[in-house]
Structure 1
């Protein structure tokens, strides 16, 4: 029997659930980030195969307010997320609903209830992804979907080999090749990245890989410079 992932506290009003995500035999993980706003409502960032026990544990943290998938190709567990939390708004990029077969709402403009505790920005210039970055202002945490991966050298050999193909030799952190190849308007893409780098953050949680607990801004900038986007 597969062990249930645990809800890990990251900071005040911020939690992470790290699910396995097998691709070609390698585990690229699927991070679900949970943010509790001052209202007590929860943002559940990224969907996963939520069990009844995990769903109940999430509800113990607060009132589920929104599901969110931040990129068009993040539909793997959309149906499971909708089933676990059927009565709350599901936020996603334009075009996501056509992929998953049920209605979703746009992430931007952000819900008024977020009240500047959460700031959202769609990363322009990559229309096949429409990736969206979030800033949790109180904890100074940048929440990303696939802009960067962050895996270190202690991964199993097969995972390391796949990362070298999908991301490159430097992936702690690194910009995945699909992100690089998906940029159609480099000026617009770089402009969005410049805006993100002006945000006040230190920690980064990304959709795949380990949390960057500190010095996140300089590490993100270095990864973007290596990809020639900064």
Structure 2
């Protein structure tokens, strides 16, 4: 993995933090296109059964392995979209009994890129997403939706016991302060491209720039389907949002989600 994208020393710069007694996050620096400081994050959830599920896994450092070992057995590994799958292979090699979840087209993309082969347990598609289930153990704790209308083909999860939404590129909350906090020489607010992307990817105020970015960009390929997915997610009971890019929204996440997705929620009402 190029050091222009992710650091060559992830163990030294990764922040491992418990968000709740059941949710641990692994936050690390990440540069989109090698230039834009957006950060990266994996999320580990200890389910009510005691099993572990990891979403958008990041580098599997010795400290990450120790954290996992102290919590239980990894039984589920989820690649959240076309972009958040880089470390799925190493995690499955380390935890070969885990079920791997992904989205349509991702196995083919990984094969073309020469990534490690993994045995996909559940692949979400636009056709099967209303009926496909993971298994009884997983489904007791999670709501989930495949946002096939998103440009990156997003899988979004809600861990019901802790009212926490876990997502990849559905919503950003830049700047990536926590993710660069162990790199004091790197300011996540500097750089021309970073400042531009932060402007369109923050959640402050009315968040109009992010609304427009999602409406005219990320959802433009299939907006009616995107609207339906957003409406479904809005029906879930969550307060916290753990995004892959930017800081965790510790509380008030439902209101922020509704603010950023306002136009899609309004459009969904007109569709129904």
Same fold (TM over 0.5): yes
CA deviation digits over 1:164-222, x for unaligned, max 9? 54464451364694785343221221111011111111100011110001111111111
CA distance in 2, matches of 1:28, 1:85: 28
Corresponding residue for residue 172 of structure 1: 203
Corresponding residue for residue 143 of structure 2: 119
Corresponding residue for residue 134 of structure 2: 110
Distance 1:140 1:119, change over 3 A: same
Corresponding residue for residue 193 of structure 2: 162
Which moves more between the two structures, 25-34 or 201-210?
A: 25-34
The structure 1 residue matched to 2:162, chosen from 139, 149, 152, is: 139
Q: What are the residue-to-residue correspondences of 1:32-47 with 2, within 5 Å?
A: 32-47=42-57
Is 1:8 aligned to residue 17 of structure 2? Answer: yes
Judge conservation of contact 2:35–2:194 (CA < 8 Å) in 1: no
Which moves more between the two structures, 78-87 or 12-21?
A: 78-87
CA distance in 1, matches of 2:96, 2:218: 32
Q: How many residues align?
A: 225
Corresponding residue for residue 181 of structure 1: 217
Judge conservation of contact 1:167–1:177 (CA < 8 Å) in 2: no
Shift of 1:28: 1.5
Shift of 1:8: 0.8
Output the TM-score relative to the length of structure 2: 0.73
CA distance in 2, matches of 1:47, 1:218: 27
**4+ long deviations beyond 3 Å:** 152-155, 163-170, 173-180
Shift of 1:36: 0.7
The structure 2 residue matched to 1:200, chosen from 213, 237, 245, is: 237
Task: Tell me the C-alpha RMSD between the 2 structures.
Answer: 2.5
CA distance in 2, matches of 1:69, 1:179: 24
